[in-house]
Each structure stands twice: as structure tokens, then as C-alpha cells.
Amino acid sequence: MTDARIDAVINFVREGSRVADIGADHGYLSIELVKSGRAIFVTATEKNLQPLEAARKNISAAGLEKIIDTRHGDGLKILSAGEVDTICIAGMGGALITKILDESPEVVNAARQLILQPMNASEKVRDWLSENDWAVDDEDLAEVAGVIYEIISAVKIPDAVPKKFKRDSSPLLKKFLSQRAEKIQRVLDEMQKSSVARTSEKFSATQQKLAALQNEIAVLNGG
């Protein structure tokens, strides 16, 4: 079973990769990674036994037990350095994604690509990537049931000629930026109600963030 979000993650995986699918849940991403031909081997990990069992059932029904190894455990701690070249962490909050990456530096540093799909706090993920010398080499957006998701690909060694990000030509970009601007405006409206909040550094930083977004939207509108 696949959808636009899972497809967008898969599209960033290079053919012939050995992939870790962290927090595999029902195993749908792992299965589609193999079916698409992008992954030659997948290590699917789950912290919780119930989804792990569901993943095992689905992987077995697809006849892929020999190509998808399922493991029970926390994040990347159950992998050895060099076992995978691509790490996918999808469908988790930005704080949890960066925690998982921080806790296993050897495994992360031995990988050549990280594909991250945060459900929130994507800025935290971007900050982590730049602080840890990973270069974002592509981004995309995907909409499922009215919700727009961000998908980020990062590499240790970027291509000499940077490519155009999928996100920048996505038909979802304007809607995504507008939704984000509305969210930030609501935060500012709330902060306005308190004299402490509206004179804080956070308030001016949030205002700047909104101005930058509005600028981006104006450019898209040809203004």
C-alpha cells in the first residue's frame, strides 16, 4: 500500500541502495522500496512490537522476508556502521528524528544519504543537518488527505552541479507556504495578547519568519 508521501520518499532513494526504514510500522515503505527496485536490501526497524508484527506479516505476504530484515529496537541503535547507505526516517516528529540521528553517530556517518520526512518541526531537522555537515540536496512536498508533508533528502557529498529541488516546482508549494504563513500568523496573534511575549526576541524572530514566507509567496505570485 502506497500513497503520495511514501512515493515521494521512495523517489529520493537511489537505485541499488541498502536502506534502513526506521519506525517501519506496517512495513509499507519497506515493501514498496523493494518493489520499486530502488532498494536491494532493507532493514526495517520498529520500537514497538505490535507494528513490528504487522510489518512481518505484510512482508511475509509479499514474499520479501529474504530482502527485508525486520528488527525490534530503538532507532538506529540496532544497526552497525556501514550496514546501510541510505537512512529513511518518515512519519515522526522533527525532535524524535534528530534524537534518533544524534544517538547513533557511527551509523549515521557511515551512510551516504538521509531521507527525512518530519511530521512537524522541519526546521529542527534542517538545523540538525547543517550543524552535522549534511547538505540538503533535494526536497519535495506530498499531499495526502488534505495534509501537505515535507520530504528532505540530504547527502554528505553533494553533486558538483546543484539540481533544482522538486519542491520548488511542486504544484503544492503555494498552498503549503500559505498554510504555513497562516499558522505563523496565528502564533503571532496569540503572542500579541501578552506584553511580555510581544516584546520578546521570539516575537521579532517569528515576525521575520512570516515576512520571509510572505516574500516567497509574493515571488510565486509573480510579484
Ligand X SMILES: C[S@@+](CC[C@H](N)C(=O)[O-])C[C@H]1O[C@@H](n2cnc3c(N)ncnc32)[C@H](O)[C@@H]1O
Binding site for ligand X (CB under 6 A): 22-25, 29, 45-48, 51, 74-75, 90-92, 96, 100
Residue 163 CB, shortest distance to ligand X, in Å, is 24
By beta-carbon proximity to ligand X, the closer residue of 22 and 107 is: 22
Q: Are strands 135-144 and 17-22 parallel, antiparallel or unpaired?
A: unpaired
Nearest approach in angstroms of CB 56 to ligand X is 13
**Nearest residue by C-beta to ligand X?**
23
Closest to ligand X by CB, 51 vs 158, is 51
User: What interhelical angle do 49-61 and 28-35 show, nearest 10?
Assistant: 30
Query: Rounded distance, CA 143 to CA 104, Å?
Result: 31
**5 or 166: CB nearest ligand X:** 5
Q: How far is the CB of 187 from ligand X (least distance, A)?
A: 25
CB of 73 to ligand X, least distance (A): 7
Burial of 207 (0-12, 13-18, 19+ CB in 10 A): middle
CB of 22 vs ligand X, minimal distance in Å: 5
Give the Cα separation of 211 and 27 in Å (integer).
Answer: 40
Task: Give the residue among 12, 2, 26 at the shortest CA–CA distance from 140.
Answer: 12
Q: Spell out where the chain has E strands.
A: 17-22, 39-46, 68-72, 86-92, 113-118, 135-144, 147-155
Integer CA distances (angstroms), 41 to 19, 68, 70, in order = 6, 6, 11
Nearer to ligand X, 91 or 94 (CB): 91
For ligand X, which is the closer residue by CB, 102 or 190?
Answer: 102
Nearer to ligand X (CB atom), residue 118 or residue 129? 118
Task: Please give the span between the terminal C-alpha atoms of the chain, in angstroms, as a whole number.
Answer: 41
With 0-12 CB in 10 A as exposed, 13-18 as middle and 19+ as buried, what is 161? exposed
| Closest CB 213 distance from ligand X, rounded Å | 26
